[in-house]
Amino acid sequence: MSRRNGPVASVRSSDDQTNQTQESIMSYAIVGFGAVGQALARAFARKDIKVAVASRRPPEALAPQARAIGPTVVAKSLREALEADAIILAVPFGEHREVAKALPSWKGKTVIDAMNALIPLEEMDGLLSSAFVAKAFTGAKLVKGFNHLIAAKLAADPIVEGGHRVVFLSSDDEDAAAPVAALAKQLGFAPVKLGKLNEGGALVHARGRIWGPLIFQDVFKKEQ
């Protein structure tokens, strides 16, 4: 049970090294600096992980709040922020297509969809919201994550009573889900992979008057 004993401790050390390596080779940006965007920025700042933040407002308008959150949170223009390897979408759902237009190609990018659509499936071609979002970000690897918690929970310390607050992840690309899970661990969360977007992703999908059973479920995973 304890991670402090012999070989188990060495495994944890290896995990830490993996996370540190992941942090060193991945760059991050949060697009959208409302309640959810700022909450995510606080999670990055708590762990001293550098992250760019951007929105429709110019970076100088965001800079005071970014500095107040922490020195690793850097306000940038949208174009500059999109130079990151992994981009977290925290804009209102209706604005994601405008973000998608900011780059001619999303190939090589990981897009983390932290949005909730709140509109009927009929307005999204019958698709779940993340599958609909993926259509706009052609070439990107898309992961659904960080969307099921309210902003106040995302901003709070994820380590509570000996457990780590769970972040649910789903993606049609396992290669994309793995580094996002590593990021979640770096931020102090316990990532739980739900599978593909049309399977596990439906559990954290918000649409119209129908809500996935895991939306707003604040659960913790004990260390093992």
Residue type, 219: V
Q: Which of 11, 54, 18 is nearest to 181 (CA)?
A: 18
Average pLDDT over residues 149-165: 90
Lowest-pLDDT range of 91-95, 96-100, 128-132, 166-170:
128-132
Would you say residue 137 has pLDDT above 80? yes
Q: What is the pLDDT of residue 40?
A: 98
Q: Which of 186, 172, 190, 147 is nearest to 37 (CA)?
A: 147
For 177-207, write each residue's pLDDT tens digit: 999 999 999 999 999 998 888 876 666 666 6
Average pLDDT over residues 44-63: 97
For residue 19, what is the enclosing H or E element?
helix 6-25
Q: What is the pLDDT of residue 140?
A: 95
Sign of torsion over alpha carbons 79, 145, 180, 64: positive
Q: How many residues does the chain have?
A: 224
Would you say residue 3 has pLDDT above 50? no
Q: What is the pLDDT of residue 30?
A: 98
Would you say residue 148 has pLDDT above 80? yes
For 159-176, write each residue's pLDDT tens digit: 987 799 999 999 998 889
Would you say residue 211 has pLDDT above 70? no
Residue with tokens 């119209």: 208
Average pLDDT value for the chain: 83
Q: What is the pLDDT of residue 130?
A: 85
